[in-house]
Amino acid sequence: MTFDRSRFTQSLTTAEMGRAVTHNEVVLTVDVAALQWARQRDAPHGAVLVADHEAVPRIRLGRPWTGGGHAAAFVVRPDLTVDQEGRLWLAAGLALSRHLGGEVIWPDMIVAGGAGWAVNVTTVLRPGAIDLAVMSFRTPVSKDRAMDLARIANELEVALDLADLIEEYSERCPLIGSEVEVKLVPRGEVVARVVGISESGALRLEMGSGRVGDLPVAEVRTLTTVS
């Protein structure tokens, strides 16, 4: 399905998100292409790269994406410290959850209509801060692709500046209160109860001993609920 750039632009309610747009028929991945655009051609905050086809679609930790659908990636230049990287994952997940009307499965999946869809965040750091980030979205095939992407852009701009980001994300996350098994990067695992989301975007866990700790996205390989 072709991408209607004019309809996309007319459907935006944003100040910056989606205001610069480039459309490619084929890319390796939207994440890589958007990162190259940002670093080599200085794509502005809010720029979005849209692709009709990804040769090797990838999501978090480089895992292959086999769910199909549409793909797009936004360039953001946030005012965040390195320790706040998790907030970008929350904003991406919340934006897609709002658009699809689904639940967010921390850190990178949204479940809606019986199917799972993914977000991914790639960051470039400078000393003590995040220099830029690429936030990508894999979404269902739509008859109105331009309108759907505009809605994601609108939701993403709101989510990135949302004062109660943690509260709303937590309300949409069914993991809160559940017992989970987490396989860690590079190795090891932990079983604990999810008690919340930290201000930095980490998963807050209560261990069997009663000790509470925060688990950043970067330390998680896989996460499953314990039945």
Domain ends where: 157, 172, 187?
Answer: 172
pLDDT recorded at residue 1: 62
pLDDT recorded at residue 211: 95
For residues 167 and 105, membership in a common domain is answered with: yes
For residues 125 and 220, membership in a common domain is answered with: no
For residues 46 and 143, membership in a common domain is answered with: yes
CATH number at residue 155: 3.30.930.10
For residues 145 and 206, membership in a common domain is answered with: no
For residues 108 and 191, membership in a common domain is answered with: no
For residues 138 and 88, membership in a common domain is answered with: yes
Q: What is the pLDDT along the chain (227 residues), one digit of tens a residue?
A: 689 999 999 999 999 999 999 999 999 999 999 999 999 999 999 999 999 999 999 999 999 999 999 999 999 999 999 999 999 999 999 999 999 999 999 999 999 989 999 999 999 999 999 999 999 999 999 899 999 999 999 999 999 999 999 999 999 999 999 999 999 999 999 999 999 999 999 999 999 889 999 999 999 999 999 97
For residues 119 and 54, membership in a common domain is answered with: yes
Helix/strand/coil (H/E/C) assignment for every residue in 32-65? HHHHHHHHHCCCCCCCEEEEEEECCCECHHHCEC
pTM of the model: 0.96
Is residue 114 classed as helix, strand or coil in its secondary structure?
Answer: coil
For residues 158 and 214, membership in a common domain is answered with: no
For residues 136 and 58, membership in a common domain is answered with: yes
Residue 5: its H or E element = helix 5-10
CATH number at residue 192: 2.30.30.100
Q: Residue 58 — φ and ψ, nearest 5°?
A: -135, 150
pLDDT recorded at residue 208: 86
For residues 194 and 97, membership in a common domain is answered with: no
The total number of structural domains that make up the chain: 2
For residues 157 and 185, membership in a common domain is answered with: no
Q: In this structure, are residues 31 and 37 in contact, taking their beta carbons and an 8 Å threshold?
A: no
pLDDT recorded at residue 84: 96
Q: In this structure, are residues 221 and 190 in contact, taking their beta carbons and an 8 Å threshold?
A: no
Domain that holds residue 105: 5-172
For residues 208 and 152, membership in a common domain is answered with: no
Domain ends where: 172, 189, 207?
Answer: 172
